[in-house]
A and B are shown apart, each in its own frame.
Chain A
């Protein structure tokens, strides 16, 4: 988008939407939308409350733990699937099923199996993130250029050498792509988990705010959440682009 010959930065239209929000809020059209300025003032207060900090900490903990397990289990599983045909054929149908299945339906099961707490939320997060990580790692290993494999053989690389010095690096762009999407899914998973098991983290906070009709607080927390999620996703996209330079040249 160009205006008078100047290139407008990509996300600059959000300023317009922010203004629109402020106007709608100032006009008092609806109780549910307080002016943005008010929300920002509230935001400043909210982030200093211990309830918010506790929720943020709990969420971050569940999120990081969930992502950790998804990566630790997902990448090796994906690479193994890419290298072993039998394993691939046995697991792939289920990975595909769970990739697109409505995983929210599984949360009640996790609740009865693992209790109404942190454990169930962490597992929910892992379940949201892991399938795409497996699938992309598998795809990354599968697409490795045949001549690269032959090159490893012809220069006498041992299987371990070939794996750590060639395959892992050659598959890295896909693996990172999978991790990025997995992490974005994990953000959604951790929130969905908290909403359904609404006694921890932001789930509890939302219950509190909506029971007391604290709209400003609600929007403030939403802004923080969305901004964090967006920052994470953009940061990962940036990391991915840094690897992408050789992804295109393979």
Chain B
């Protein structure tokens, strides 16, 4: 038993990819290539540069949208969490947005802003922002009362309480919201590329589907899921390093 968890992860990957390979060989459907075919399509796309060009395009709305959502979302969240009036005014909007299928706004965004980058960035924003705002506001509101009291008892100014107590205390939850927001942002970015105009990875998917080059289509989908998962895992690792004491830290017994 060298490292059971690691070995089992490998086994688990082998089982899934093996099942994919077998299902592709039967084949379960003409539109279901084998795992190896898809991987070789992935490598040839990476080798001739198509994949990198596609990602250069896909990442634009994604990065811009997520950057805007993160900055604006955290700022609004802090504001809403700290001030009763803004809480009353803005929270309902974001609560409704969080529950609602905002994807339905896409046709309207296309009518208003065309099929360019703006629309795609907006799609990423409306998907990513609500959860960031709500998590930030909730975390700020839930700062343990005794920590704030401690700040006041030791003569911290209101600003110092926000900067040195409320924000650090809220940051693990803010970060978790950011992670959920980015995950939703990926959904939005792909949706925009598939729905609005095929560009980037969405273009590879749409185009290879239309010419029935299924290995390339599966390869592109595989790559974008892989990218999202790797990125989010990286973020989670950063989180555990950054907040190592903070998550289990506040216990009173």
Whether A and B touch directly in their complex, counting CB atoms under 8 A apart, is answered as yes
Please report A residues at the B interface, Cβ cutoff 8 Å. 1-2, 8, 10-14, 16-17, 30, 32, 86, 89-91, 93-94, 97, 100-109, 111-113, 184, 187-188, 190-192, 195-196, 202, 206-207, 209-210, 213, 218, 221-222, 225-226, 229-230, 232-234
A196 engages B194 (CB within 8 Å): yes
Q: Answer whether residue B242 sits at the interface, using C-beta atoms and an 8 A cutoff.
A: no
**How far in angstroms is the closest Cβ of chain B from A23?**
16
Number of B interface residues in the complex (CB < 8 A): 60
What per-residue 1/0 map shows which CB atoms of B187-201 lie under 8 Å from chain A? 101110011000001
Known: A93-B13, A105-B220. 15 other contacts (CB 8 A): A12-B88, A100-B228, A102-B187, A102-B224, A105-B201, A109-B31, A112-B209, A112-B217, A184-B98, A190-B101, A195-B107, A225-B100, A226-B101, A229-B100, A230-B95
Contact of A108 among B29, B105, B221, B228 (CB under 8 A): B221
A188 engages B103 (CB within 8 Å): yes
Distance A234 CA – B102 CA, assembled complex (angstroms): 17
- In the complex, the chain A residue whose C-beta lies closest to that of B15 is A90
Distance A176 CA – B149 CA, assembled complex (angstroms): 35
- In the complex, the chain B residue whose C-beta lies closest to that of A206 is B107
- A225-B104, A229-B100 as given contacts; A105 in contact with B88, CB under 8 Å: no
A229 engages B221 (CB within 8 Å): no
Task: Give chain A residues whose Cβ lies under 8 Å from the Cβ of B4.
Answer: 89
B103 engages A102 (CB within 8 Å): no
Contact of B194 among A10, A30, A107 (CB under 8 A): A107
- A32-B112, A97-B229, A218-B108 as given contacts; A1 in contact with B101, CB under 8 Å: no
Number of A-B contacts (CB under 8 A): 154
- Within residues 180 to 232 of chain B, which ones have a CB less than 8 A from any CB in chain A? 183, 186-187, 189-191, 194-195, 201, 205-206, 209, 214, 217-218, 220-221, 224-225, 228-229, 232
**How far in angstroms is the closest Cβ of chain B from A220?**
12
Task: Give chain A residues whose Cβ lies under 8 Å from the Cβ of B112.
Answer: 30, 32
A32 engages B111 (CB within 8 Å): yes
